[in-house]
Structure 1
Amino acid sequence: MEKHFNKLLNIISFRTLLIVVLIVTGILQFFLMLGNIRGTTYDIQAFQLAPETIRAVKTVEDTVKTEQERDNAENAVEPVYVFNDETAHNRSSLVTSIFDILLDVRKDISASKEEVPIENQVHQLQDKLKDITDSQSQLNFTDSQLQSLLTANDASIATAKTFLVNLVETTLKEPIRTDDVAQVRNEIESRIRQNDTLDENLFSVLAVIGRAAIVETEVLDEERTEELILQAREEVEPTRILQGQIIVQEGELIDREVYRQLELLGLLNSHTSTKPVLGLFIFIVLQMAFMYILFDRSKTDLEKRRKALFVTAIVYSISIILMKLLSLLSDQFDMTIAFLYPTALATMLVRLLANERAAILVTVLTAASAGILFHEGYAAVLQMDIALYIIFGGLSSVFFMRSMEKRSHLLKACGIVLVSNFLFIAFYLLMSQSDYELVELLFYAIAGITSAVLSGALTMGLLPFFESALGLLSTMRLIELSNPNHPLLKKLLTETPGTYHHSVMVANLAEAACEAIGADGLLARVACYYHDIGKTRRPAFFIENQMSGINPHDSLPPERSAEIIISHTSDGAALLKKHKMPKEIVDIALQHHGTSTLKFFLHKAKDEGKEVDEAAFSYPGPKPQTKEAAVINIADSVEAAVRSMKQPSMEKVQQLVHSIIQSRVQEHQFDECDVSLKELKKIEEVLCETLNGIFHSRIEYPKEG
């Protein structure tokens, strides 16, 4: 079953798995919380008598009345207009331009030696005026009007020009709004036709010019007006129906307004299902969206992300179930039994089994869900006291107890949670400004203690289950495996002391390098302790264990020597599996040499003139699959090489480390893991620093006296 499940996980993409897990988690949460979002409702209709006195059980804004008041305030705002001083000058200049063009055409015609027909004169004037008439929609001259301009005498034209320019300029110096333009144009035309000094043949064309010249001089300042409208609307205080306010007295008629208020408050049977359910749906979608972002943007390897996702989803679901059970019992007690909930349970489990970021997110999401699950009445959307209680308890276990590498650390974390619970309960009791009896105070004290103790006890109890069911390797488990009293480490120390010392040295190097590139330093250290456990099968065949100076390889053919050396990876993996060691450590035991070649025995075989199958002198692999395995691959070779150096100096160590890493890259040993060249450079730097600290030359102190 497990094999088929893992095969299925490898087929589907992580995003698909993430979406499926979050949908399942969200659906479970939705149905668990659905019963906690409904309140007291009434089966009543409009225009019937109220069966009892109904009060508002929450404070809500009466948006209808608020909007009415704001509309009234908006309608009372006077529009702001801005007068344009330049309009009079611009429009009078337009009139002047028309007459100037007319005079230029008349002058050209007079200067012509040939007699120009009047029709041609009209067309010529039309062409000259085309730019102006195209831009001014009101300027539509007929042929007869243009003909009257061309045939009038100079004195009439001059009089008309002066009169019309002055009339337009004088008129436009007064405020004229868009609605007044038509009236002012009529007045302009009337004044033109009543003027005795003008040639009556020019009345029609002057009226067209005068009307076209008149435009609004005072325009609406929409931006300023909108600001005043917004200001007026914002100054209107929202109309609210206050909690406890009587909506209708018993026996009174429920009119349309009362019915609308009851509907707004959600007190009618026919109006209670849609909004809270939709709100709960949005609430859960928002929570799942945060989880999606957290895991989708995670930079850890695929296997770790999968396990962290399953842990987070399962722990979060368990938290919801526990809170649901408590909420079902809350009606049987007068006191708030929600304070019994283990506030740091979800936080500590996810912190130990996944990572700190996921633990913080789960704390916030659990607290928010608790606000709904422990919600009482309609006094607020969320029961904020319980939500804050869980947030403070959960986060205290993360921020005030950063290390949880030992069981004693977990107990200390419970102590910190206990202090946080007590402080928050004290805040809660003091802020409520009520007088509590001794029994109630005793209950809240016991609740705070129970919450902290359950947080630690359930974490300790559930931890092995998660580790076994999901194949997880927690920090605590790694610390246990690093204990020198572990049977395999005892075996390594007693049977292969040289290998044990080598493993400890490699562990120091690998841990420092892993922490520098953001990999799991603790996993690397523990895996190094066990990576050469296979050498315990034939200890004397490995140089670090050859204390007598006798090398058994001297009497063996190179093929057999290579076979013995190469087999220590598979022997080690078999021994680790026999002792039920975590998969991560078994994998590193297999991968720490990748598919590299035993060049010494390969060259020895070639020197003996044998036909060589290079595969027989190469490790079977697989190549390193994780950053930790890649780092151990490098550190293992580097430590052995530097240890064999005579008088190691900083420059020699640096050159050696660089050459080993380059050799691994050229052999494509890191093609199957996500270690980058930048990270390899960082690994090189850290290894050089650490090695120089280990193999530094002893300082010669001056002799005394």
Structure 2
Amino acid sequence: MFKPVVKLFKSLKFKYLSLFVVILAAIALFSLMYGNVKQETYELHEFKISPKTIRSLKTVEDTVKTEQEKRRIEAEVTPFYQFNEDISKNRSAIATQLFDIIIEAKQVNVPDPDDESKIVKSRSDQIKEIRTKFTKLEEEEPGLRLTNEAISSLLNENIIELRKMQREVSTIIEEELSKPIRGGDLSTVRYEVERKLRLSEAIRPAVLQTLITLGRSLVVETETINKELTNKRIEEEKNAVESKRILQGQVIVREGQFIDSEIYRQLELAGLLTNQSSLKPIIGLSLFVLFVSAIIYMHFLTWQEKSNKKKKSLLIVYSIFFILAVMMKLIGLIDKEFDVQVAFLFPTALAPLLVKLLTNERLAFMMTIVTAATAGIMLHEGFTSIMQMEIVLYILFGGIVSIYVLGNNGRRSNILRTSLAVAASNILFIGFYLLMTQSTYDLTELIFYLIVALTSGIVSGALTIGLMPFFESAFGLLSDMRLIELSNPNHPLLKKVLTETPGTYHHSVMVANLADAACESVGANGLLARVGSYYHDIGKTVRPNFFIENQHGTTNPHDALPPEKSRDIIIAHATDGADLLAKHKMPSEIVDIARQHHGTSFLKFFFVKAKEMGQDVVEDDFRYPGPKPQTKEIAIISISDSVEAAVRSIKEPTPEKISKLVKSIISSKLSDGQFDECDLSMRELKTIENVICETLNGIFHSRIEYPD
């Protein structure tokens, strides 16, 4: 059923496959996260009772409240008053001018005995003439009004008395208006002017009321509002008003509360009514998913690795990602039912541990960042910010700590040690979080957070150990944990080698030591080389006695066989071993080591033997079928295998002999083209040569000769 899918998977180019997987995963991720960003709305009606307490899911500006506040501020702003000292002089001058007009009218109308032609005007004509002169002045000063009776009473006075009254009124007006007077002070000042006029000896009783009326009308404000400065102050005050907002998490209406017009307006403004819908969350989430998908796609597109490995790693990364996303979804559902941050239960180190053990450290860092960002959205509280930053940092720090503490050791004990380190990191971060919130927590809450932090770290390790076999089985992967299991001497195949071919077993252990050390020196996988070396000659268990290390002094069966038969038996151990390992469903990397560790090497001994027997043979007939070593680890095992077998044949090995032999074997394989298909450099070959020589010198060191 799955064979066509697997065949299609292998045939597709990585660029197209990765694009298809990323797009498909993006759609699935969007569907999974949509519920976390979709704004909850309610079917509510004005002038009804609210069925539940409703909080705002976002911060929005309340423009109506802001404008109301600005209008209130405008009404309460103190006007900018400006005192005008010229007003007192001007009003005094008006009083003087009024009297001048009266005095001038009297002077013009005085009879002249020497000029009988001069006509003396009647009182009514005088009043009419004075009224004409007053007209312009009254237009400029609407409050200034003198009745005909008042003018007539003033005309009755002589000029000397008028001059006295003129000076008195002008002085009183100038004195009273020489200080700041506002609209509310006018009645008080007018009263004071009236009082002074009544007490003045210069004012005759006949015109007192007329002059009181005149004096009161001359009193005006001397401190007036400066509209320009006042408006400027109003604008400054209005600009200083902070915009009124409905804040995230703010309760708009409580359960059982009457929904009046103002509450309904706020609900509508916050977008909480069912008749409102917004595309913003959908667009925002789409951008986030696009961003995450682009990061993952670009990471794999720029990764310099074989296509098959990249395909597997891509599927592994997304499988882990969706397992974590489902976990976030479940925790998010639980979190709503508690007042504490249940989201801290999320296993912070699960993603980086699994990804690093199954792929590499670079991918683990990327997944830590992506997981943290995704969790920030999926584990956020409904009435807080859309990105729960404490959760983002919690997962980010826990993941980074796990990557560094794990190192390159994937053993179970190290994973557990790493999970404890992550738990300690979680405790430190939660301590920081609790202190920064500046809230008061009781003992129960503190114990809860301590347990949550420990649980998160330990569960990260436990789930990593539990899920590893499933990923290894599903994707045919070989992790450090799996390699360590395969290195157990009690493994059935290793027991088979030990019991049936003890010489081969000893040889394999020696090769493992050499290969492990050499691989570590050039950055290759030493553990893979060690474990692969244990199994590389398992094909010899098919015909153990045909290999010299298992003969133990018995007759060599090859002496009685023709060279072609011996050749077939020796060459077959590579393919027999690979077939046996494949039959037992061993990892492909171990099978490849058994198949490729001899590459296309030449069996010179049997070729020469055939030549000496006069047979017409060609060199290619006496070569292993290959393929040549495809990886550094297999090439190094090939060198170690040949070196270990050759060194055992040296009598009294010395460092010089060993060095010469190792150099000769490496040069021979190099010239034979055995390293053409792996990426070993000349510098690495030199390093491998030095390390193998050092290791062999340690094994074959000189021993003290003890006396009998």
Q: Same fold (TM over 0.5)?
A: yes
Aligned partners of 1:406 and 1:476 also within 8 Å: yes
Tell whether 2:32 aligns with 1:32. Answer: yes
Find 1:395's aligned residue among 383, 393, 400.
Answer: 400
Aligned partners of 1:51 and 1:250 also within 8 Å: no
TM superposition score normalised by structure 1 = 0.66
Instruction: Provide the residue aligned with 1:244 in structure 2.
Output: 247
Cα distance in 2 for partners of 1:554, 1:621 equals 26
Instruction: Provide the residue aligned with 1:323 in structure 2.
Output: 328
Matches within 5 A, 1:307-456: 307-377=312-382, 379-402=384-407, 404-456=409-461
Question: How has the CA–CA distance of structure 1 residues 610 and 411 changed in structure 2, closer, same or farther, with 3 Å as cutoff?
Answer: same
Structure 2 residue matching 1:367: 3-state secondary structure: helix
Amino acid of the residue matched to residue 251 of structure 1?
S
Matches within 5 A, 1:265-304: 273-304=278-309
Cα distance in 2 for partners of 1:475, 1:539 equals 30
Question: How has the CA–CA distance of structure 1 residues 488 and 429 changed in structure 2, closer, same or farther, with 3 Å as cutoff?
Answer: same
Q: CA deviation at 1:294?
A: 3.3
Structure 1 residue matching 2:490: 3-state secondary structure: coil
Cα distance in 2 for partners of 1:62, 1:621 equals 78
Q: CA deviation at 1:682?
A: 3.8
Structure 2 residue matching 1:484: 3-state secondary structure: coil
Instruction: Provide the residue aligned with 1:17 in structure 2.
Output: 17
Amino acid of the residue matched to residue 523 of structure 2?
G
Find 2:520's aligned residue among 507, 515, 519.
Answer: 515
Deviations 1:73-109 (A, max 9, x none): xxxxxxxxxxxxxxxxxxxxxxxxxxxxxxxxxxxxx
Cα distance in 1 for partners of 2:342, 2:62 equals 35
Tell whether 2:515 aligns with 1:505. Answer: no
Structure 2 residue matching 1:400: 3-state secondary structure: helix
Instruction: Provide the residue aligned with 1:8 in structure 2.
Output: 8
Instruction: Provide the residue aligned with 1:464 in structure 2.
Output: 469
Cα distance in 2 for partners of 1:272, 1:434 equals 36
Aligned partners of 2:336 and 2:381 also within 8 Å: no
Matches within 5 A, 1:66-145: none
Q: CA deviation at 1:266?
A: 6.7
Cα distance in 1 for partners of 2:438, 2:374 equals 27
Cα distance in 2 for partners of 1:358, 1:241 equals 46
Cα distance in 2 for partners of 1:35, 1:55 equals 18
Instruction: Provide the residue aligned with 2:558 in structure 1.
Output: 553
Aligned partners of 1:55 and 1:243 also within 8 Å: no
Q: CA deviation at 1:567?
A: 1.2
Cα distance in 2 for partners of 1:270, 1:687 equals 78
Structure 2 residue matching 1:507: 3-state secondary structure: helix
Amino acid of the residue matched to residue 608 of structure 2?
H
Cα distance in 1 for partners of 2:62, 2:620 equals 82
Q: CA deviation at 1:481?
A: 0.9
Matches within 5 A, 1:475-486: 475-486=480-491
Amino acid of the residue matched to residue 412 of structure 1?
R
Tell whether 2:568 aligns with 1:573. Answer: no
Deviations 1:659-689 (A, max 9, x none): 3333333333334334444544443343344
Structure 1 residue matching 2:336: 3-state secondary structure: helix
Question: How has the CA–CA distance of structure 1 residues 251 and 9 changed in structure 2, closer, same or farther, with 3 Å as cutoff?
Answer: closer
Q: CA deviation at 1:618?
A: 1.9
Cα distance in 2 for partners of 1:397, 1:16 equals 33
Cα distance in 1 for partners of 2:17, 2:522 equals 28
Aligned partners of 1:61 and 1:238 also within 8 Å: no
Structure 2 residue matching 1:624: 3-state secondary structure: coil
Q: CA deviation at 1:348?
A: 2.0
Question: How has the CA–CA distance of structure 1 residues 2 and 646 changed in structure 2, closer, same or farther, with 3 Å as cutoff?
Answer: farther
Question: How has the CA–CA distance of structure 1 residues 29 and 57 changed in structure 2, closer, same or farther, with 3 Å as cutoff?
Answer: closer
Amino acid of the residue matched to residue 514 of structure 1?
C
Amino acid of the residue matched to residue 334 of structure 1?
D
Aligned partners of 1:59 and 1:241 also within 8 Å: no
Question: 514-523 or 462-471: which moved more?
Answer: 514-523
Q: CA deviation at 1:627?
A: 2.3
Aligned CA-pair RMSD: 3.8
Which runs of no fewer than 5 residues in structure 1 stay unpaired? Answer: 66-235
Instruction: Provide the residue aligned with 1:155 in structure 2.
Output: none
Q: CA deviation at 1:383?
A: 0.5
Amino acid of the residue matched to residue 10 of structure 1?
K
Aligned partners of 2:39 and 2:281 also within 8 Å: no
Aligned partners of 1:319 and 1:346 also within 8 Å: yes
Question: How has the CA–CA distance of structure 1 residues 302 and 515 changed in structure 2, closer, same or farther, with 3 Å as cutoff?
Answer: farther
Aligned partners of 1:593 and 1:619 also within 8 Å: yes
Aligned partners of 1:634 and 1:660 also within 8 Å: yes
Amino acid of the residue matched to residue 591 of structure 2?
V
Cα distance in 2 for partners of 1:8, 1:674 equals 29
Deviations 1:391-443 (A, max 9, x none): 23333322234355332223323322333333333333333233334544444
Cα distance in 2 for partners of 1:29, 1:404 equals 32
Aligned partners of 2:567 and 2:606 also within 8 Å: yes
Question: 616-625 or 244-253: which moved more?
Answer: 244-253
Amino acid of the residue matched to residue 26 of structure 1?
A
Deviations 1:307-333 (A, max 9, x none): 222211100111011111221333233
Deviations 1:218-261 (A, max 9, x none): xxxxxxxxxxxxxxxxxx99987656399999636999xx99xx
Q: CA deviation at 1:591?
A: 0.9
Question: How has the CA–CA distance of structure 1 residues 662 and 312 changed in structure 2, closer, same or farther, with 3 Å as cutoff?
Answer: same
Question: 321-330 or 601-610: which moved more?
Answer: 321-330
Instruction: Provide the residue aligned with 2:596 in structure 1.
Output: 591
Which runs of no fewer than 5 residues in structure 2 stay unpaired? Answer: 67-238, 253-258
Q: CA deviation at 1:364?
A: 1.9
Q: CA deviation at 1:547?
A: 2.0
Instruction: Provide the residue aligned with 2:478 in structure 1.
Output: 473
Tell whether 2:587 aligns with 1:582. Answer: yes
Q: CA deviation at 1:530?
A: 0.5
Q: Bigger radius of gyration, 1 or 2?
A: 2
Q: CA deviation at 1:36?
A: 0.9
TM superposition score normalised by structure 2 = 0.66
Question: How has the CA–CA distance of structure 1 residues 299 and 237 changed in structure 2, closer, same or farther, with 3 Å as cutoff?
Answer: farther
Q: CA deviation at 1:692?
A: 3.9
Deviations 1:255-282 (A, max 9, x none): 9xx99xx87x777878864333222222
Question: How has the CA–CA distance of structure 1 residues 56 and 306 changed in structure 2, closer, same or farther, with 3 Å as cutoff?
Answer: closer
Amino acid of the residue matched to residue 15 of structure 1?
K
Amino acid of the residue matched to residue 294 of structure 1?
H
Cα distance in 2 for partners of 1:656, 1:21 equals 52
Aligned partners of 2:509 and 2:533 also within 8 Å: yes
Cα distance in 2 for partners of 1:665, 1:527 equals 22
Aligned partners of 1:596 and 1:619 also within 8 Å: yes
Aligned partners of 1:348 and 1:359 also within 8 Å: yes
Instruction: Provide the residue aligned with 1:99 in structure 2.
Output: none
Structure 1 residue matching 2:339: 3-state secondary structure: coil
Question: How has the CA–CA distance of structure 1 residues 596 and 237 changed in structure 2, closer, same or farther, with 3 Å as cutoff?
Answer: farther
Cα distance in 2 for partners of 1:691, 1:553 equals 30
Question: 415-424 or 357-366: which moved more?
Answer: 415-424
Cα distance in 2 for partners of 1:272, 1:698 equals 87
